[in-house]
């Protein structure tokens, strides 16, 4: 047992808002609920099935270890317990079922204080999302539905975001369709950026959706790291 595994993990506060389960489709049955430490074995199994999720994202390691998943959840729970809101959900086919996909939301700290609402002058709140679906469950609308729910119900209505952003590799057509299904529009079609885990440059695209038209002039800041 490593020193990290030896320590009791930071618990998720069950009272955190927006933990679910929320039913977001009847057919196929589709629920989202807070990710739990008990999801770790399935997370690790799915992410290691093949390189689909590794290839589609900028962040995952391969192979993906239990310690990676545990650190990811622990960091999320520390932040969630402070904010009082869940921010990482498992997609499931029943309220307590096995995880079939993952979706998370966060706020972009780079924008805080540097950008203001063009009409009211107050600081903008800019959310972002990321997701994956097990290759065994893709092509059934799970990512599109979950992304729509997180953008509309969570980031806009519950958290009061002004803008929600997301990025995908330009060639990742399924992911781009997910963002479009969530109501987002492509703001930057091609941006060549260095991806540390690949140690090479890749072309990404940037999508956004705005709560009101007044912020449409606030576009992706290409001077910062994506
Ligand atoms: C991208 C991903 C999340 C899509 O999940 P999903 O649940 O299959 O998405 P949906 O079923 O909502 O499908 C979205 C669209 O992509 C299409 N699609 C899904 N899988 C596809 C595939 N393998 N090839 C081509 N199109 C595909 C669907 O037909 C749908 O298109 P439509 O809107 O025209 O009907 C999933 O493939 C995945 O986890 N990929 C690896 C990780 C990744 O890329 N994450 C996103 C990082 S930005």
Strand partners, 205: 168
Say yes or no to pLDDT of 157 above 60.
yes
Distance 25 CA to ligand 1 centre (A): 17
Q: Would you say the CB of residue 143 lies under 6 angstroms from ligand 1?
A: yes
pLDDT band at 221 (very low <50, low <70, confident <90, very high): confident
Say yes or no to pLDDT of 215 above 80.
yes
Q: Which atom of ligand 1 is nearest to the CA of 178?
A: 14
Distance 55 CA to ligand 1 centre (A): 13
pLDDT in tens, 17-28: 999 999 999 999
pLDDT band at 226 (very low <50, low <70, confident <90, very high): low
pLDDT band at 60 (very low <50, low <70, confident <90, very high): very high
pLDDT number for residue 225 = 65
> Do 165 and 108 contact (CB within 8 A), yes or no?
yes
Mean pLDDT in residue range 167-183: 98
Domain ranges (residues) in the chain: 17-164
- Among 60, 134, 139, residue to substitute to test ligand 1 (most atoms within 8 Å of Cβ): 139
- Among 131, 146, 178, residue to substitute to test ligand 1 (most atoms within 8 Å of Cβ): 178
Percent of the chain at pLDDT above 90? 84
Q: Which atom of ligand 1 is nearest to the CA of 144?
A: 12
Average pLDDT over the chain reads: 93
Under CATH, to which class is 17-164 assigned? alpha beta
User: For residue 41, how far is the Cα from the chain centroid?
Assistant: 20
pLDDT in tens, 97-149: 999 999 999 998 755 456 788 888 888 999 999 999 999 999 999 999 999 99
The reported pTM is 0.95
d(CA 123, CA 205): 25
Q: Would you say the CB of residue 170 lies under 6 angstroms from ligand 1?
A: no
Residues in CB range of 87: below 8 A, 6 or more apart: 76, 79, 80, 104, 105, 106
């Amino acid at each position: 047992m490593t020193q990290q595994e030896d320590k009791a993990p930071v618990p998720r506060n069950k009272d955190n808002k927006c933990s679910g389960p929320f039913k977001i489709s009847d057919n196929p049955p589709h629920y989202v609920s807070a990710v739990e430490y008990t999801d770790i074995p399935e997370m690790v199994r799915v992410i290691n099935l093949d390189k689909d999720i590794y290839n589609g994202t900028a962040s995952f390691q391969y192979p993906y270890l239990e310690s990676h998943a545990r650190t990811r959840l622990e960091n999320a729970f520390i932040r969630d317990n402070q904010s009082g809101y869940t921010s990482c959900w498992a997609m499931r086919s029943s309220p307590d079922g096995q995880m079939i996909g993952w979706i998370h939301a966060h706020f972009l700290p780079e924008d805080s204080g540097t950008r203001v609402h063009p009409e009211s002058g107050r600081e903008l709140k800019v959310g972002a999302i990321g997701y994956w679906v097990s290759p065994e469950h893709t092509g059934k609308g799970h990512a599109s539905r979950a992304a729509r729910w997180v953008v509309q119900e969570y980031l806009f209505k519950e958290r009061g975001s002004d803008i929600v952003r997301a990025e995908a590799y330009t060639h990742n057509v399924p992911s781009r369709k997910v963002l479009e299904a969530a109501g987002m529009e492509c703001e930057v079609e091609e941006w060549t950026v260095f991806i540390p885990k690949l140690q090479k440059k890749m072309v990404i695209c940037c999508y956004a959706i705005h709560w009101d038209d007044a912020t449409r002039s606030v576009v992706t800041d290409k001077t910062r790291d994506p």
